[in-house]
Structures are given as C-alpha cells and as structure tokens.
Amino acid sequence: MRYLFLLLLLFVTQVVSAADPLPSWNDGPAKDAIINFVKCATNDGCPLYVPPQDRIAVFDNDGTLWSEQPAYFQLLFALDRVKALADQHPEWKTEQPFKAILENDLKAAAASGKDGLLKIMAVTHSGMTTDEFEETVRDWIKTARHPEKYLPYTELVYQPMLEVLKFLRANGFKTYIVSGGGVDFLRVWAEDVYGIPPEQVIGSSIKVKLEERDGKPVLLRLAEIDFIDDKEGKPVGIHRFIGRAPVIAFGNSDGDLQMLQWTDRKPNTFKALVHHTDAKREYAYDRNSHIGQLNKALDEGTEKGWTVIDMRKDWNRIYPTP
C-alpha cells in the first residue's frame, strides 16, 4: 500500500509540474499576469485574442534575459580582447584606455568616457571579417568566466525567463531579442541559449563592406556605427526588422522604456519590467545604477499598471544551475 501511495504521489507531482509552464516563478500577480494574458491571447473567444500572425513578443537582453553586472558582458568581452591582442600592440602599454585595461584599472578605463569606449570597440569589433568575428565570439563564450560569479556567461541567463520564452513559443508567439548590444555578438549564441534564431535578433550594428579575399567574397567589419538599437532606436529597429508591432514586451531599464511605450500604443498588450531586487542571489539595483538604470520606466510602468517583476519575491530560482 505504501508503495502504491508513493507511486501515486510521484504521478501527481509530475502532472502538477507538467501543468505549470513557469515552475521557477512563485505564485503571485506577476506569474498570473503572464499566464492569463497568454491564455486569453490564444483563445478566440476572449476579448484579448491575438491572431497567430500578430503574436510578436520582444525582449531586451542585458538585465532581462541574462545578468548585466558588474558591466555589460559584451564590454567584458571587449576588455578580454584588448588583453588578448596586447602583444601585437606594444604602444598600448602607455596609451589610454588600453594601459588601464592591461593594468586591470577599470576605474581609469571608465574615466576615458565615450571616446575611450569607442577606441576599445573599434580595435576589438572591427578590422576583421564577419566570419572571423563570429569565431572569436564563439571561442570567448565557451571559455570566458564571469569575474564575480566564476560561471560561464551562458549560465547566467535567467531560468524564469527561459520558461517564459518556451511558454510563448508553445502558444504560437514569435520571440525576438531587441537589444542595445551588438547584433553580431548576440547572434552567435542566442539560438543555442534562448532558442531564438539569428534572424529574430535585433541589435546595434557597425557598418560592413563586401570585399574579395582569395577569390571569395567576405564582409569586412568597419569601425563605423551603423545603427544603435537602444532607447528610441528600439521602436525603429522593431519597425525596420519585424514590420509588426509587438503585443508583448519585456525590459528592465530606462533603455527599454520606448520599446514598452511603443507596445503600449495599442490596447490589450502586455508590458513587463524585471526589477533587480535580489542582492543575495543576483544583484540589487535600480534608480542610481550606472548599468541598467531603472528610474523613469519604473515610475511610468507603475503608474500605467505594467507588470513589475520583483526578482527576489517572484522568482524561486535565478539561473539554470542551482
């Protein structure tokens, strides 16, 4: 009898688990809002019904799908590339911001400001073919470790958000990344990690030029900005590359505000902000942070009734690896 009871308990547990599309979310208003919106959006008898062709969901990346502290991960990639290339550039030992990076003085590197950042990005992201850049990113993402958590960066994605992506796709939604980060950086690994193919990744880009090498065409990455997919650039990118307005949008910072406003133009849409409130399991920051500042968007989201996700309260798990 006890054996049968244990089997029955196991069966019930499995059924309950299978029935919950968001097991890493604690029961509460945020989880309910996501599930209820999707249920209604896919039920043609519901006032919030969304036809299949209009089921577009957009997601910021940094701070929304994976962590972004103590610095944006693409910037950490660039800093690692400076160190890897240093032997080819002895002049960097005395030239800022490279001198600061080689001496691990990030405060001095940051003091170089926008001009310094542009120098860093120019030497680490251009002057190579698109294939060469892809290979460089792929090698880095396999081997690099986070400076504080000592995990591969792809293990610092949010398990609750992976479940949201899967839940939406299971209900006929197309999921897009709309990031201020580099589109070519993201496309290398987004499909493996998020299940989002390269053609559904929108991001910032630099110019490329077609050249011929060894009798074959290649695309050369130039040190010229082509498109910035941040703030007001996000609605532009959505219009340019998707051609349909999203009905679901997730962000985490003021850089996502215009994307959420763009989604909010139409009634019966879902807008959400990930609020970083968990200093113990991840990081806690919002209004005064230099990375992922959440100030205006938090005020507007609260006022308009958008779903504000409290990471500490709403997520029972942060990363895929416990």
Q: Is 17 a residue whose pLDDT tops 70?
A: no
At 299-318, the pLDDT tens digits run 999 999 999 999 999 999 99
Kindly state which CATH superfamily the domain 21-68+156-217+225-322 is placed in.
Answer: HAD superfamily/HAD-like (3.40.50.1000)
> What does the domain layout of the chain look like in residue ranges?
21-68+156-217+225-322, 71-147
Residue 10 sits at φ, ψ, to 5 deg, of: -65, -40
> What pTM was computed for the model?
0.92
Q: Judge contact between 254 and 285, C-beta under 8 A.
A: no
Q: Judge contact between 186 and 205, C-beta under 8 A.
A: no
Q: Is 182 a residue whose pLDDT tops 70?
A: yes
| pLDDT reported for residue 18 | 52
| pLDDT reported for residue 114 | 81
Alpha-helical runs (H) found in the chain: 2-19, 29-41, 73-85, 98-102, 106-110, 113-125, 130-143, 159-170, 183-187, 190-194, 233-241, 257-264, 296-304, 311-314
| pLDDT reported for residue 3 | 46
Distance CA(200)–CA(127), nearest Å, equals: 26
Per the structure block, which two tokens stand in for 44? 């043609």
- Report CA 95 to chain centroid distance, whole Å: 33
Report the length, in residues, of the chain.
322
Mean pLDDT of 237-254: 98
Distance CA(254)–CA(158), nearest Å, equals: 20
Residue 210 sits at φ, ψ, to 5 deg, of: -75, 130
Mean pLDDT of 193-213: 98
| pLDDT reported for residue 7 | 38
Q: How confident is the model at residue 111 (pLDDT cuts 50, 70, 90)?
A: confident
The residue among 225, 204, 224, 218 whose CA lies nearest residue 128 is: 218
Instruction: Give 150's contacts (C-beta < 8 A, 6+ positions apart).
Output: none
Instruction: Give 127's contacts (C-beta < 8 A, 6+ positions apart).
Output: 220, 221, 223
Question: What is the edge-to-edge ordering of all strands in the sheet holding 201-213?
Answer: 216-227, 201-213, 174-182, 56-59, 248-251, 270-275, 307-310
Mean pLDDT of 66-94: 96
